[in-house]
Amino acid sequence: MNEDPQTALEALARRRLPATAWPWRSALHLLAILPVAAVAFALFGVPWVVLAARLGEGGLGIAEAAVLMLIGLALAAVLGPPASGPLARAALRRLPRVDHRPVEPRRSAGGPLARYTDPGAWLETAYACALAFASPVLGLAVPLTALLAATLLASPVLVIAQEPGDLPIALGFGQVHTLGQTPPYVALGLALAAVLPYLATLLAGVHAAVARALLTGGPAEDLRAELVEVSRSRTRLADAFEAERLRIERDLHDGAQQRLVGLTLKLGLARLDLPPDSPAAATVGEAHDQAKHLMAELRELIHGIRPQILTDLGLAAAIGELADASPVPVDVDARLDGRLPGQVEHTAYFVVAEALTNVARHSGAAAAAVTARVLDGTLTVDVRDDGRGGADPGLGTGLTGLADRVAVAGGRMLLSSPAGGPTVLRVEVPCTETRTA
């Protein structure tokens, strides 16, 4: 089964168009767009009408014609961006009558001055200019055609009502004197009446198509909006994961670790109360040692989820701790004023941690260096080593995961690792705010 047409242009292909509501909708749309067209004509069309009138009179000099053209262009350039916005919004409010698809207005650049640099504002200006020049067709074609068709159809009545001695009746395409001369004009009137629904639907459909093309977002802007929404949703997911990570760390620290500490103390006390050479003492001692090892592993796990030094002292101190724990000597130069946003610090910390792990495991380096700076609202972290180079994200060294982690924070990762070294890993993460320690 065929779907109902969504636009006036689609309705034109329907065989029973005159019996549908589309011609009436189209006629109402053309009537509703007339005030908008009149304002557009007053703003952008008058100089060109004056120019055409003067050219029709003859004797218009080249200089005067050039002045009138410049006035028209200047009006479009000066008045277009600020004045076309209200016209565009008014046209879009009338669009659903002949275009049932969702309407997404083009996003505005902001203030009046900003519109002069907004491509969308110039598209709206182009629509206003096109509407100004097309306003006579949109406003007069259907009424004049309807009036002419009505006059032609009424020609027999006009002839019958004519008094003897009256002048012949003018019907636009000719004159009639007698009733026998009217049938061709009646046939023409019937043809015009049959064409009238298609004419109204066509004009409304063309206007709606032009308005949608110039005034709505279109595929490119829709794609841009989708990309923005994907970026925002990715940020929301990252924030949710960070909150969940903090909850897990807090539950392990305040719950499982505290209970494990209590269990270790009780096993230690029970070990002291038992005879040293008894079988129970050996079993309790083994359980006590395992509990201490488990507590150490749990402490490392909690530290890996969110290092306490990062929470308490910030990124510079946390990088220093990573350098001290690295088997490869690491020189740290982290000049950071104040604290950075939590996600930025967390991202940079784990990048440095993974990078130093790669240096120790894969590079064969004798020394490494980490530098961190905040310049122009961007945190830049460089990890350099003097190893063999040739780092490849496809070899499973975690570089792809690092790039994904940085991308979630809105940053980027750059890698230089020629064969023979050195390897330089650079991470740039935007951080528009800092906070005091």
CB atoms within 10 A of CB 223: 11
Question: Same structural domain for residues 247 and 189?
Answer: no
- Using a pLDDT cut of 90, give the percent of the chain over it: 5
Which of 169, 192, 216 corresponds to the end of one domain? 216
Could you read off the pLDDT of 287-323 as tens digits, one per residue? 777 777 777 766 666 555 666 777 778 888 888 888 8
Domain count, the chain: 3
pLDDT digits (tens, 9 = 90+) for 56-76: 566 556 666 677 677 767 777
Do 243 and 185 belong together in one domain? no
User: In this structure, is residue 437 part of a structural domain?
Assistant: no
Q: How far is CA 372 from the centre of its chain?
A: 33
**Residue 436, pLDDT score:** 46
Say what the pLDDT of residue 202 is. 92
Query: Which one-letter amino acid corresponds to residue 334?
Result: A
Q: Print burial letters for 307-344: b (CB count within 10 Å at least 16), e (below 16).
A: bebbeeebbbbbbbbbbeebebebebebebeebbbebb
Do residue 273 and residue 325 come from a single domain? no
Max mean pLDDT range (17-26, 103-112, 243-252, 258-267): 17-26
- Confidence label for 1 from pLDDT (cuts 50, 70 and 90): very low
**Both 174 and 254 in a single domain?**
no
**Same domain membership, residue 356 and residue 421:** yes
pLDDT at 268: 76
Q: Flag whether 222 is in a domain.
A: no
CA distance 424 to 426: 6
84 plus 47 within the same structural domain: yes
Any domain includes 388:
yes
Q: Note the pLDDT tens digit of each residue in 89-140.
A: 888 888 888 888 887 776 665 666 777 788 888 888 888 888 888 888 888 8
Percent of the chain whose pLDDT exceeds 70: 76
Q: Which residue has the tokens 């909850």?
A: 247
Domain assignment present for residue 237? The answer is yes
Please report whether residue 223 resides in a domain: no
At residue 437, the pLDDT reads 46
Closest among 164, 168, 185 to 177, alpha carbons compared: 168
Cα separation of 30 and 32, whole Å? 5
Residues 301 and 317 in one domain: no
Domain assignment of residue 297, yes or no: yes
211 and 238 in a common domain: no
72 alpha-carbon distance from chain centroid:
35
**pLDDT score for 198:** 92
pLDDT in tens, 421-431: 788 888 888 88
Note whether residue 89 is domain-resident: yes
248 and 380 together in one domain: no
For residue 273, give its domain range: 231-305
**Last residue within a domain, chosen from 305, 330, 351:** 305
Q: Are residues 97 and 131 in the same domain?
A: yes
Last residue in a domain, options 276, 305, 334:
305
User: Tens digit of pLDDT for each residue in 22-60?
Assistant: 999 999 999 999 898 888 888 877 766 666 666 656 655
Residues 6+ apart with CB under 8 A from 319: 332, 334, 349, 352, 370, 372
Per the CB < 8 A criterion, the answer to whether 363 and 423 are in contact is yes
349 and 280 share one domain: no
Q: Are residues 205 and 74 in the same domain?
A: yes
Contacts for 430 with CB less than 8 Å, ≥ 6 apart: 344, 377, 378, 379, 409, 410, 411
Per the domain annotation, does 169 fall within a domain?
Answer: yes
Tokens at 199, concatenated: 């004419």
The reported pLDDT for the residue numbered 196 is 92
